Structure 1
Amino acid sequence: MYAIIDIETTGGQPAQDKITEIAIFIHDGQQVVDQYSTLINPQRPIPYFISQLTGITDEMVQDAPKFYEVAKEIVEFTEGKVFVAHNVRFDYSFIKKEFADLGFTYQRKTLCTVRLSRALIPGLPSYSLGKLCKSIDIDLQQRHRAIGDAEATAKLFDKLIKINRPVVDGNMHMASETSEKVLKQEIKTSLLPPNISKEQVDALPTVPGVYYFYNEQGEVIYVGKSINIKKRIIQHFNIDYKSRKSLDFKNSIADITCELMGNELVSLLFESAEIKRMKPQYNRQQRRSVFNTGIFMYEDANGYKRLTFGSVNKADDVSMTPLIALSNQSKAKGFLFHKVSKFNLCQKLCDLYKTNGACFDYQVHQCKGACIGKESPEEYNKRVAEAIDSFTFEHNSFVIIGKGREPGEKSVVVVEKGTYLGFGFMDEYFSASSIDDFKSVIQRYNDNKDVQQIIRGHMRSKHKDKVLVFD
């Protein structure tokens, strides 16, 4: 049994928008046997452009039931049935969110008629509901109303399940693949992008590397990295979408390729370089630095060198160049607290304790009193300089040797005189006696604060890589 569903909403984001109409057609595999529809009061104003699109106004839903008043009917109507919709992730995500707000976990097997249409009627110019119905002569009444779109989707579904798709069997003979077999396959893969097959996902590697999503024009629209490429990509496809943009992103994916990197560090470095080089459409945040909060230093009127934190992109007259960049303000504060403790600095002079008097650490005898002038600027500034020195790499020139892409291979990351030069791969028996030997096997990449932070973070972690120092 199948519950063919369409909804109308106040917008495209399940986290903040609400359902205004729902329609359900029950199909037993042969024909429609029941149906249900109702307007729903979203308990918030419907935006004007949504009313223009759907025809549903605030006045129309004013006396309609609220979602919680029809929730039981929806549960009972869809119980034990496959949840079918055109772009199923949209409708399913909204309904799951409405139930989650009521403290109820709504879960059904799903089936996407976009994917099913692509599988059974390949080669059409468009698989949007309106154009698809026009292509195969389905009368679509009341477009952008739940009852009209659900009824058209039910007619589409009815046509699709009666198609037998020609295939080639194992002996290279033509055979017929029943719609039932296709349905079972599509139910298993309903959350995949419409253009991506189960075979493509099954073939993905389960090792570290960088992966690329392409659109139908062959353009790279997203670059990502993972220590397990297949697992990460499946996570991309399985999560509930949060906005229309994320649904458009998923539906745009037409192909996937990947580059094996052997380990997480090299994957991170290569991903950062590729995003900056290619500027993919859906990597907008990562096109710029992913480390947006900086640690800055300035000298106050009393001669004390003070550390503070703030936005890298909106640095004021404190300094235009951060001493180090971190991913967010919380990480920056945590970083400063660590340096205050390790180098016996003053919380107040690091903007971690707001007071007109002494800082808290002075009261418990852990601060030497720079905050109230008890310690001279000269003595205090020595420890600030030591702390700042610790921001950079522990060693000036070094090589990180890690796991390679295959047995017998090692990865190489080279930093010389504090500058990242790039990475490469070498045979595990490669003989090297100087940093120049390792430089001969790497590909050069640009140094920037992002890769500097990636390497610093790796060096602070409990990694198992070999580090050769050439200071």
Structure 2
Amino acid sequence: MYAILDIETTGGKYNEEGITEIAIYKYDGHEVVDQFISLVNPERDIQPFVVNLTGINNNMLKNAPKFYEVAKRIVEITEDCILVAHNANFDYRILCTEFRRLGYDYERKSLCTVELAKDLIPGQSSYSLGKLVRSLGIPVTDRHRASGDALATVKLFKMLLDKDTDKRIIQNSVRLNPKHQLEPRHIDIIAELPSITGVYYIHNANGDIIYIGKSNNIKKRINQHFTGTNAKSKKIQSKVTAVTYEATGSELVALLKESEEIKRIKPLYNRALRRSIFTHALYSFKDDNNYLNLKIDVADGRKKPITTFSNRQSGKSFITKAVEDYNLCQKLTGLYQTKSSCFNYDIKNCYGACIEKETPESYNSRVNALIETNSYSNKDMVIIDKGRDVDERSAILIKNGVFKGIGFFNLNYQINNIDVLESIITPMQNNRDTQHIIQSYLRRNKRLKIIKIT
């Protein structure tokens, strides 16, 4: 659990500042679950340059509560939380100073989004909150007021969690959270999980990730792990201390994240060398008569496939439908073995490429249309899918036929501006597995929105 905060102060000499406004959003890694926002009477004058910056003046604070009146609420909302702030050293120091004046020793673990951003989003021209969120297309209102800046930090932290592909933030959170150090009952873990699409992470007592999975219903899938009787399920049941998850909204994003993170993190109970998730592929070649032929064959890493399949039957079903949709020849697609005309020609459903009645140019144009539809080779495009919230969408970026990564956006500006788009994208590896995942998903979901990058 995280307490994401921003504090406005009077300014002045070091350790003599007073708090004029505080905003705290309690964030569980997915949504804000509690919040506290208040002006505070600092019992001292505000520096003129601070008044110009924040708009908060002495008159506004006359009837505001003094710090001792809000201290109990601050302690409660930040209990068992990691404090998160942009330039956390400043906000944490100010809080500790105020509590020290009351004779209370305030201690919390903290995370700084400046340091996290420098690590996870390198190369930015500035890491000040205003310039950084602007460059990432994150909307911000009430700049230099505690609530506006804290909300912008929430959105920034959410993006940083997405970009933390090694899951260091989450693992440290599990390790530091004292309630997870006791062995909870499996039913308690399940009760806290949602029935949503995403990737889940099973942790041991040290916070280490021992298993990663993907599901369209995380609660149901974890329940299956905890009630399973096979050897792997029993090992997981004996080691599990916590389950964290990452909502994706999109099944495609969940599949890609699962594949990437198993390879990167290598959890103990995921198979170290997973068998390739596809076995067969669609290839094309020209015959002696200059006709483009299609063939479903065992996947060969030395050849460049048009698309891939989980098994031969899946490939055969695809090519059978393609013959119908594109008026292709059964013989030239490997479905009908003959030295003369194919069966479809005999019933007038083939134009005769099998016996050279149709010109290669005419026939090949339809084969190329099939290839163009089912391969993203050399294409620049963004696949748009569901997001984690109603007003959010996910983006899968492909440049020159290479999968670059995934991200989430709320505004069309963020995907129509290539510089902003590349900033919000979490880079991921392009490999044969990701190509198969994307192509298979596109075949199953014909209505997905695809934006071509020009």
Task: Give TM-score scaled by structure 2 length.
Answer: 0.51
In the TM superposition, residue 452 of structure 1 has moved relative to its aligned partner by 3.2
Amino acid at match of 1:284: R
Structure 2 vs 1, CA of residues 292 and 429 (structure 1 numbering), >3 Å: closer, same or farther? Answer: same
Which residue of the partner structure matches residue 223 of structure 1?
212
Check conservation: 2:212, 2:267, Cα contact below 8 A: yes
Correspondent of 1:311 among 290, 298, 305: 298
Residue 272 of structure 1 pairs with residue 255 of structure 2: no
Whole-angstrom CA distance in 1 between matches of 2:389 and 2:355: 60
Whole-angstrom CA distance in 1 between matches of 2:220 and 2:317: 31
Residue 367 of structure 1 pairs with residue 354 of structure 2: no
Whole-angstrom CA distance in 2 between matches of 1:407 and 1:381: 43
Check conservation: 1:212, 1:222, Cα contact below 8 A: yes
Whole-angstrom CA distance in 2 between matches of 1:464 and 1:382: 24
In the TM superposition, residue 392 of structure 1 has moved relative to its aligned partner by 1.7
Deviation string for 1:123-167 (max 9, x for gaps)? xxxxxxxxxxxxxxxxxxxxxxxxxxxxxxxxxxxxxxxxxxxxx
Whole-angstrom CA distance in 2 between matches of 1:281 and 1:364: 57
Deviation string for 1:273-301 (max 9, x for gaps)? 11222334544398353122111123334
Whole-angstrom CA distance in 1 between matches of 2:371 and 2:297: 16
Which residue of the partner structure matches residue 105 of structure 2?
none
Which deviates more, 243-252 or 357-366? 243-252
Structure 2 vs 1, CA of residues 394 and 419 (structure 1 numbering), >3 Å: closer, same or farther? Answer: closer
Deviation string for 1:434-461 (max 9, x for gaps)? 3332122111112234333433444455
Whole-angstrom CA distance in 1 between matches of 2:432 and 2:405: 14
Structure 2 vs 1, CA of residues 302 and 419 (structure 1 numbering), >3 Å: closer, same or farther? Answer: same
Whole-angstrom CA distance in 2 between matches of 1:430 and 1:267: 24
Whole-angstrom CA distance in 1 between matches of 2:386 and 2:372: 30
Structure 2 vs 1, CA of residues 273 and 364 (structure 1 numbering), >3 Å: closer, same or farther? Answer: same
Amino acid at match of 1:411: S
Check conservation: 2:397, 2:405, Cα contact below 8 A: yes
Amino acid at match of 1:230: K
Correspondent of 1:199 among 188, 202, 212: 188
Which residue of the partner structure matches residue 46 of structure 1?
none
Check conservation: 1:434, 1:470, Cα contact below 8 A: no
Residue 212 of structure 1 pairs with residue 195 of structure 2: no
Correspondent of 2:311 among 328, 342, 346: 328
Aligned 1:227-246 pairs, distance under 5 A: 227-238=216-227, 241=229, 244=231
SS state of the match for residue 374, structure 2? coil
Amino acid at match of 1:213: I
Amino acid at match of 1:334: S
Which residue of the partner structure matches residue 262 of structure 1?
249
In the TM superposition, residue 268 of structure 1 has moved relative to its aligned partner by 1.8
What is the RMSD of the two structures over their aligned residues, measured on CA atoms? 3.5
SS state of the match for residue 284, structure 1? coil
Whole-angstrom CA distance in 2 between matches of 1:372 and 1:222: 56
Structure 2 vs 1, CA of residues 281 and 380 (structure 1 numbering), >3 Å: closer, same or farther? Answer: farther
Check conservation: 1:214, 1:253, Cα contact below 8 A: yes
Structure 2 vs 1, CA of residues 395 and 467 (structure 1 numbering), >3 Å: closer, same or farther? Answer: farther
Task: Give TM-score scaled by structure 1 length.
Answer: 0.50
* Runs of 5+ consecutive residues of structure 1 not aligned to the other structure: 1-193
Structure 2 vs 1, CA of residues 361 and 282 (structure 1 numbering), >3 Å: closer, same or farther? Answer: farther
In the TM superposition, residue 302 of structure 1 has moved relative to its aligned partner by 4.5
Aligned 1:113-152 pairs, distance under 5 A: none
SS state of the match for residue 287, structure 1? coil
Correspondent of 2:330 among 323, 326, 347: 347
Whole-angstrom CA distance in 1 between matches of 2:317 and 2:280: 12
Deviation string for 1:201-239 (max 9, x for gaps)? 211222221012345776544321122211122133345
Amino acid at match of 1:226: S
Structure 2 vs 1, CA of residues 220 and 390 (structure 1 numbering), >3 Å: closer, same or farther? Answer: same
Which residue of the partner structure matches residue 437 of structure 2?
454
Residue 299 of structure 1 pairs with residue 286 of structure 2: yes
Whole-angstrom CA distance in 2 between matches of 1:387 and 1:468: 19
Whole-angstrom CA distance in 2 between matches of 1:429 and 1:362: 49
Structure 2 vs 1, CA of residues 281 and 291 (structure 1 numbering), >3 Å: closer, same or farther? Answer: farther
SS state of the match for residue 345, structure 2? helix
Aligned residues: 272
Whole-angstrom CA distance in 2 between matches of 1:234 and 1:460: 31
Correspondent of 2:422 among 431, 434, 439: 439
Which residue of the partner structure matches residue 385 of structure 1?
368
Amino acid at match of 2:426: Q
Structure 2 vs 1, CA of residues 280 and 304 (structure 1 numbering), >3 Å: closer, same or farther? Answer: farther
Amino acid at match of 1:231: K
Amino acid at match of 1:437: V
Whole-angstrom CA distance in 2 between matches of 1:389 and 1:445: 24
* Runs of 5+ consecutive residues of structure 2 not aligned to the other structure: 1-182
Whole-angstrom CA distance in 2 between matches of 1:228 and 1:383: 40
Amino acid at match of 1:211: Y
In the TM superposition, residue 247 of structure 1 has moved relative to its aligned partner by 4.9
Residue 414 of structure 1 pairs with residue 397 of structure 2: yes
SS state of the match for residue 289, structure 1? coil
Structure 2 vs 1, CA of residues 198 and 221 (structure 1 numbering), >3 Å: closer, same or farther? Answer: same
Structure 2 vs 1, CA of residues 352 and 281 (structure 1 numbering), >3 Å: closer, same or farther? Answer: farther
